[in-house]
Each structure stands twice: as structure tokens, then as C-alpha cells.
Amino acid sequence: MNKYLLFTPGPVNVAENVRRAICKDDICHRESDFDDLLQRVETKLLKLFEIKNSVDYRAVVITGSGTAANESMLSSVVGHKRILILSNGEFGDRLYNISKVHNKNTTVLQYSWGERFDLETIKAYLTTHEIDIVAMVHHETSSGMLNPLEKIGTLCKEHKAMFIVDCVSSAGAEVIDMEKCHIAFCSSSSSKAICSYPGLSFVVGKTNEFERLRDLPVKTAYLNLYAFYEFIKNFSQTPNTPAVHLFYALEQALDNILNKGIAHHYSVLQDKAKILRDGMSNLGLTFLMEEKDMCSVLTTVYLPTHIDTTLFRQKLREKSIIIYEGKGRFKNKVFQVGNIGELSFADIQFFLDSLENVLQSFGNGKVKIIPFTLGGGRKSMIVYVDGDTKSRELATAS
Ligand SMILES: Cc1ncc(COP(=O)(O)O)c(C=O)c1O
């Protein structure tokens, strides 16, 4: 029994067989046991991405969180070229900041957090500027917005720009058609919709684009994407010591998705998101964006203004429920509820019941001042009104 139900965008509650997988035999990462394991993990990652011709694409696995895969891409594929970052949230901003560290020709088209990308301004920018590479986040986790992969990919193709994408919180939950969306490289991590432990990330890319990295300047030694490619291609290994047992866990998590079917996995996530969203709407909560803009893993909800974030999260934590609070510009304005990992439909109902309970404990925020007389003086009582009929005294004032 887990201590907490992680209603977060990851790391997640893992399946029992994933938990057991990290206890497998100790193996040496320079022996054929690991070579085979890495080969199987790569094959399964390419299956998850529904790559039809697996010779045209490769997946390299990096020991490190999602940021390691992002930094590996951004430091290794740009060279001296010009890169444009599209950002509408915290994680788009992070791509920009990482790129600036490695690439002096970095620019950003900055949209408000939670705002849709405006395709016309992007098109105009690509028409009037020499841009070689465009990078963006697929699912902008800070707001929950799913950015339009195919539309931006098509613009990139029209303007002969390479397209690279952070799919850290969308891979394993949303269809990512690398070919149709003209994606050269995309990154993701083990601990979100793929439902394994944190600690591994990966980059899926076109084989010919991986080959081209050989001629580019090396900007980081440890996260050199070409080195990862060279090692997997030549030895089925990683350049440095990998977190061996996390590979077992990742393989098991991938098996869990592939055995049940990718489409089935996606549709269960959609069902869970729908039940959560309907349930929260019924409690009178409203969302940061329309449902059609959301990813199937996460819902970003306005925090009622009379509720204190810290206390709200604490009350849920006391019921073993962990949610996310808003980051950066969304701090104290929203909370986020994820529906990935081992969360059953019963857990979701438990969450909704607990949420109702916690919201009720704060009242509904409508305040009524009722004057009354006590002894000799005139006093008034502040009453927070719960629904239409129930009233609860919270304080008195003279
Ligand atoms: C879209 C996106 N990109 C990048 C990251 C960073 O990943 P990590 O914290 O695993 O390094 C996250 C983390 O939540 C994310 O959601």
C-alpha cells in the first residue's frame, strides 16, 4: 500500500511489477546482459512511438531526468546555426534558458503562459528571419496546454527548419507521429506517462540526423548526443555508467503499455481525465483552459480565491493525496491534478470525494455579515455560506 496517491504530472505511483523489476539480478553494464537490455528498451521505445520503419529512427537512453535529454538535444544539434524557441510556459522558458547556455544564436517567440501559439506570427517570423531549427514543448506542463505538433511541424518543413520537441510529459499519453509532424528529435522521460521511476530520459531521432551530429562542435562532454548514438549503434551501450536497474523498470513499464495496447493505454488516460474533469466541474471548479486544449494527463484548475494553497495541499495530503500547485506566474492561482501512473478509477473517486470534503472545509467563499445584539452592545457575525442552506460560524467581530 502506497503512502500517497500521486495525482501529479509525475513522478507517478508505479505498478507492482515495475517496483519489483528494479530488484532483478546485478549485471555489468559492459557485458552482453546490459547490451541486450538496452537493445530491448530501444526497440520498445520505438514501438511506443509507433515508428513504422525502425531503421530510420533510433532512441538513445540517458541516465538523468527529462532535462538531461533536453539539454543533450539543445547542446548537440544546433552547432553554429540559429534556433528559435516557441514558449508559452515554464518549460518553454526552460528550453530557451538551456539553449542560451549553449547556442549564441537563440531567439524566442514568447507567448503568455497558457496562451495558444499564434500560427500566423510564427509563420511570419519564419518568413522574415533565417531560422535553422525550431524547438518547443509538446505538452506545456505548467499550464496543461497541448501545443499543436503537426501544425508547427508543417511550418518547419515549409521553411526548411529542423523541428525538435520536448515530449517529456506527453510521450506515453498522446500520439506523437514523428514522421507526419516532421520531428527530427524529441525527448522524454521515464517517470511521467510511461509510468516508470524517475532517473532515465531518452531522445528519439531520425537516424540520418543522428549521423549528421558527428560534424557539429561538441558543447558538452557528458550529454553529447552523438556519443550516446555512437555507443548504442556500435556497442549497444551507453558512454558512461548507466543506472542499470532503472532500465529494467523502464522495460517493464513499456511492456505494461505495449502488452495492453498503446491505443488502450491512451483511451484509459482519456477516460480518467474525463471523470476527473467532470467531477471537478460538478464541484463548481473551473479550468485554466478549454478541454480541447488540454493533454490527457493533467488538469489545471483555478484555485478558489478564498483558499490558501498551502493549507489546501496540506488538507489533501492528510488524506494521502498529493497534487501540484501552480508554478511561476500561476503560483497561488491554480492547482494541478494529474491522472497518470497506478491510479485506479476507485482512487479517482476517492480523490473527488476528498476534494469535495476539503473544499467544504473552506466554505464557498461567499461572505454574509449578519448583525445581532448580544447583551448591551451591537455586534455582527461573519458567516461563510456553504451552499444555499448550511451556514457555519467562523468568526465573530464587534
Ligand atoms: C514538459 C517538461 N519538460 C521538461 C521537464 C523537466 O523534466 P525533469 O524535471 O525530469 O528534468 C518537465 C518536468 O516536469 C516537463 O514537464
pLDDT single digits (tens) 302-323: 999 999 999 999 999 999 999 9
Calculate how far, in angstroms, residue 307's C-alpha sits from the geometric centre of ligand 1: 27
- Of 276, 245, 195, residue with least CA distance to 24: 245
Residue of minimum CA distance from atom 7 in ligand 1: 66
- Residue 359, pLDDT > 80, answer yes
Residue 381 binned pLDDT confidence (cut-offs 50, 70, 90): very low
pLDDT over 70 for what percent of the chain? 91
Q: Ligand 1 pocket, 141 CB below 6 A? A: yes
pLDDT surpassing 70 at residue 390: no
Q: What separation in Å is there between the alpha carbon of 67 and the centre of ligand 1?
A: 6
Exposed / middle / buried, residue 26 (Cβ in 10 Å: 0-12, 13-18, 19+)? exposed
Closest residue to atom 8 of ligand 1, CA basis: 66
Phi, psi of 164 (to 5 degrees): -125, 140
Distance CA 190, CA 200 (A): 5
Eight-class DSSP state of 349 = H
- Using pLDDT thresholds of 50, 70 and 90, give the confidence band for residue 365: low
Evaluate: CB of 173 within 6 angstroms of ligand 1: no
DSSP 3-state assignment of 50? coil
Tell me the domains of the chain and their CATH numbers.
Answer: 15-259 (3.40.640.10), 262-361 (3.90.1150.10), 366-397 (no CATH)
Q: Among 80, 36, 42, 55, which Cα is nearest to 216's? A: 80
Quickly state the pLDDT bin for 2 (edges 50, 70, 90).
Answer: confident
Q: Whole-structure pTM over 0.95, yes or no?
A: no
**Contacts with 250 (C-beta within 8 Å, 6 or more apart), sequence order:** 41, 61, 190, 194, 196, 197, 200
Is residue 61 predicted with pLDDT exceeding 80?
Answer: yes
The residue-averaged pLDDT of 42-65 equals 96
Determine whether the shortest distance from the Cβ of 169 to ligand 1 is under 6 A: yes
Instruction: Check pocket membership of 207 for ligand 1, CB cut-off 6 A.
Output: no
